[in-house]
Structure 1
Amino acid sequence: MRKFVAKHATQVTGTLSCFDRLLFKGHLPLGYPHAMEQFLTQRRVLMKDLKAFVLQQAARLKTQAAAAAEHAGRPYEYLASLVRKDQRARAIAARDGVTEGLICVFSTVEPCRTFRLAYGHGRPAIRPVWRKCLFLYFYFLDREFGFCHVRVQTWFPFTVQVYVNGHEWLARQMDKRGLRYRRLENAFLWLEDPGRVQRLADRFAPLPWPAILDRFARQVNPLLRDELAGYRYYWATHQAEYSTDVLFTSRTALRALYARLLRHATLCLRAEDVLTFLGRKLHGRFAGEILNDWKRRWPGARVKHWMKANWIKM
């Protein structure tokens, strides 16, 4: 990257590397049958009452979500068909002039991993099973993280997903410090002080993430206050995107060069190169598939290199 920037120094105003889209998954220590059986025993819930107990707790989550939306004066919508939820939430925020706090709550039925009661020899046993249940999506304009959402499964084990965006967080950090910038959707086109902004971006990863994510979880799962008192979520990074933006002086300066870069990346890069980009080496026992994918998209085009579930794109 340094060689590239040096070569095009007259056309580049700076670079910025920061986290982009992040999805965290929160798991309670109830995700396997034995733990669930212990939980029911502690709560004095009989095996035969498992279904009724599960549905009762699910109803509490749904009722709390509707009440939270009503209290904030925000819409609660059931989505019966496939909808781009992020776009819908942004449209609601723009329509209603929301600048901070809850934007809306969506509910929709999706596949989930939960439990069932299995009968056979001896006493009934709890077994994991895939079912469909109601999920709740809470969309916020958070004071610190900007546009984000929290998704909670209403059936045990109440898995939570938190989405945040590093560019959203960084924009708010610049706003606090009076640093000027130009932004188009999820990209910065110009930065007043790229060096200072990079130092701000480097503060994102060391944030106290467990405490931050616990705060989001408490907002959407009221059971943590009573039925699940004493339980905490274990957090794992489910998806992470890290971007490097090269800021050019103008669209004209980039246009001709970008076409050449796309052509080179599509036609000249080999599997070994893609693995190198992703910190791997090609060896004879590799059983996956490596792909180069070029697509024309508004307002231009992009090339993406895939290795299994990992990718890098330009």
Structure 2
Amino acid sequence: MVNINDVLDGHVALEIECLDRIYLNGYVPILQVGGQVIRFMREHLGKNIPSPAILEKLGTRFRAAVRDFADVHQIPIVQFKKDDRKIDVMQRFLSAQEKSGISGVVAIGVAQEYQNVFAATQRDKGAGVPWYSFTKADRRVTCYYFYLWDDDFGAGFIKVCAYFPYPVKVWVNGHEWAKRQASKVGLGFTSLSNGFKSCDDPAALQRICDTLTSSTIQDFFDRWMDRLPLPLDDYDRQFGYWWELSMRQIETSRTLVFDAPRHARSFFESLITDNLDIGRPETVELLFTGHGPHHLGHPIVNRTPYKTKIVTADTQVSLNVFFKHSRVKQYLKDGRALRVETVINSPRDLQCLRRLEHLPELQQKARDINARLLDTERVGQGCVLASPAFERVASPTTTVDGRRAPAMRFGDPRVMALLDALCASITVLGFTHRSLRARVNTFLGSDADYTTHQMSYDLARLRLNGLIARHEHSNRYFLTPDGLRVALFFTKVHHRLLTPLLAADQPPAPDILRDALRTIDRHVTGYIDNARLGKAA
């Protein structure tokens, strides 16, 4: 039996934490409501009557500037089709620029996309004078993708919408940035897709990854915005009409490269096997090369016959834990490395603000989540609970401040359902009164009437026993290290030992075990008869 602790402790050749995909919004803070649009046209541009015709002229000027920029620098303009994967279309241009070793705009992609822009509504001000109000609405407008090859970041793009207030998107990759910095200082490494397979000095590489900060990304943005054709100019910038960056999607990764591909595979096979009955995810997804996704787990209504698919070398297993708008994903990278990524699609999910300057806080919280997932998986296959710890939880005790901590009695159906629910993967990101109660109800069964008051009582005794703690300024809870060990130990002993052993005289217990139990039962019965003890009524 493979234990993931043995795999992680003995077969990891390289372990690196780094930002991966970085996707940002660019917005003009003082152009976000209708009144600011009117002020822009009247006070900044000096127009008496705010009108959509003014905005149309600005957009027309910007589109002409893009064409002139492409002509002067001989940059191809590519019209994206509806189903195009943009990076694939642009890859040949990026590859050619990379070979030249010179930073530059490699191509300009044009797409019609829905954007949240200002729409005008005409109102009659009286005396036949037209007047307009401006409100945000989703409209299908022209967007320009400036695909770049940057000496520091490699491939990236800056997307500029051609309609007011000209929202911007920025995409770069943290691993690609780290590769270029390592090359500049002469640090030897080999690549694993966009990550690292090996490195001469892993500690030095980690220090490089840690130096990718919000100011580094801001410098990249400023550098290119000074070179690209834009709908706002230096005059606008002097009066504060310029873009600021906020975080749209941030991927924080932890990559563990194994010394042989078989160890990467055995890690996932052991992990999935260990979680099919304890902490079971709603869906286990096996992705087959050249085929669509196959789902194991809850039955799916399907008219086609169910079939068993053997997991082969071409199968990629992916674990996803979803939380609000974000998720944690765990998968094999090129069959050689374990990649854990926390993907934050809304910084508020982790109580962080959106502006780019808050990236360090967000990254640290995401790294903590990655570590918590691995710690949870480690404990899941090594959850020994010493006798004093077991007794402290299984019997009523008194806390250090004199409060009574009710017992969590092993075998009690409600306690076992509660701890079973706490083993679920979703608790890596925390849980609420409501979400935990729903899972406990699932384990207790439809006949149980598990009330909100019972859930409140159970949360209190979990907290008093030191098994859970509460996030500051939040109604979310998380398992403490003791809580994780207790939940897994109780659940595994109950599900994996006692339940099958108590039913060992029945199928599907092996024949050899059932025969042995019948032999033991026969001998015990003989001793009882020899002692002339009657059978209980």
Assess if the C-alpha contact under 8 Å between 1:295 and 1:303 holds in 2: no
What does 1:137-148 align with in structure 2 at a 5 Å threshold? 137-148=145-156
Match of 1:283 in 2: none
Assess if the C-alpha contact under 8 Å between 1:150 and 1:220 holds in 2: no
What's the offset of the Cα at 1:167? 0.4
Q: Partners of 1:265 and 1:221 in 2: how far apart?
A: 53
1:103 aligns with 2:106: yes
Assess if the C-alpha contact under 8 Å between 2:321 and 2:327 holds in 1: yes
Could you say which structure has the higher strand fraction?
1
Assess if the C-alpha contact under 8 Å between 1:183 and 1:190 holds in 2: yes
Match of 2:74 in 1: 73
Assess if the C-alpha contact under 8 Å between 2:153 and 2:176 holds in 1: yes
- CA 1:8–1:113 in structure 2 vs 1: closer, same or farther (change >3 Å)? closer
SS in 2 for 1:158: coil
The one-letter amino acid of 2:329's match is K
- CA 1:94–1:235 in structure 2 vs 1: closer, same or farther (change >3 Å)? closer
What's the offset of the Cα at 1:98? 5.0
Q: Partners of 2:197 and 2:277 in 1: how far apart?
A: 28
Q: Partners of 1:269 and 1:12 in 2: how far apart?
A: 26
For residue 117 of structure 1, the aligned residue among 117, 120, 126 is: 120
Q: C-alpha offsets along residues 17-56 of structure 1, whole Å, 9 cap, x if unaligned?
A: 01000111111121210110000102123546x3322222
What does 1:236-275 align with in structure 2 at a 5 Å threshold? 236-264=246-274, 268-269=278-279
Q: Partners of 2:263 and 2:244 in 1: how far apart?
A: 47
Calculate the aligned-residue CA RMSD, in Å.
Answer: 2.6
Assess if the C-alpha contact under 8 Å between 1:152 and 1:221 holds in 2: no
What does 1:151-300 align with in structure 2 at a 5 Å threshold? 151-205=159-213, 207-226=215-234, 228-230=236-238, 231-264=241-274, 268-269=278-279, 294-296=285-287, 298=289, 300=316
What's the offset of the Cα at 1:156? 0.6
The one-letter amino acid of 2:196's match is F
Could you say which structure has the higher helix fraction?
2
Match of 1:17 in 2: 17
**Stretches of structure 1 lacking an aligned partner (at least 5 in a row):** 272-290
With the length of structure 2 as denominator, give the TM-score of the two structures: 0.50
- CA 1:98–1:154 in structure 2 vs 1: closer, same or farther (change >3 Å)? farther
Q: Partners of 1:39 and 1:71 in 2: how far apart?
A: 31
Assess if the C-alpha contact under 8 Å between 1:116 and 1:126 holds in 2: yes
SS in 2 for 1:196: helix
- CA 1:302–1:168 in structure 2 vs 1: closer, same or farther (change >3 Å)? same
With the length of structure 1 as denominator, give the TM-score of the two structures: 0.83
Q: How many residues align?
A: 292
Q: C-alpha offsets along residues 54-80 of structure 1, whole Å, 9 cap, x if unaligned?
A: 222222222222333333332111224
Q: Partners of 1:121 and 1:206 in 2: how far apart?
A: 47
SS in 1 for 2:164: coil
Q: Partners of 2:95 and 2:220 in 1: how far apart?
A: 26
1:311 aligns with 2:327: yes
What's the offset of the Cα at 1:4? 6.5
Q: C-alpha offsets along residues 96-147 of structure 1, whole Å, 9 cap, x if unaligned?
A: 7554321110011111122222234534322222211100001111011111
The one-letter amino acid of 1:247's match is V
What does 1:82-97 align with in structure 2 at a 5 Å threshold? 82-94=83-95, 97=99
1:26 aligns with 2:34: no
- CA 1:293–1:135 in structure 2 vs 1: closer, same or farther (change >3 Å)? farther
- CA 1:166–1:297 in structure 2 vs 1: closer, same or farther (change >3 Å)? farther
Assess if the C-alpha contact under 8 Å between 1:20 and 1:243 holds in 2: yes
Q: Partners of 1:16 and 1:266 in 2: how far apart?
A: 29
The one-letter amino acid of 2:162's match is T
Greater shift after overlay, 215-224 or 11-20?
Answer: 215-224
SS in 2 for 1:313: strand
Assess if the C-alpha contact under 8 Å between 1:105 and 1:136 holds in 2: yes
- CA 1:164–1:293 in structure 2 vs 1: closer, same or farther (change >3 Å)? farther
**Stretches of structure 2 lacking an aligned partner (at least 5 in a row):** 126-130, 290-313, 331-537
Q: Partners of 1:58 and 1:206 in 2: how far apart?
A: 30
Assess if the C-alpha contact under 8 Å between 1:266 and 1:294 holds in 2: no
What's the offset of the Cα at 1:223? 3.5
Bigger radius of gyration, 1 or 2?
2
- CA 1:268–1:227 in structure 2 vs 1: closer, same or farther (change >3 Å)? farther
- CA 1:303–1:157 in structure 2 vs 1: closer, same or farther (change >3 Å)? same
Q: Partners of 1:44 and 1:124 in 2: how far apart?
A: 16
Assess if the C-alpha contact under 8 Å between 1:26 and 1:159 holds in 2: yes
Higher RCO by CA contacts (8 Å cutoff, separation 6 or greater): 1
Assess if the C-alpha contact under 8 Å between 2:166 and 2:231 holds in 1: no
- CA 1:120–1:206 in structure 2 vs 1: closer, same or farther (change >3 Å)? closer
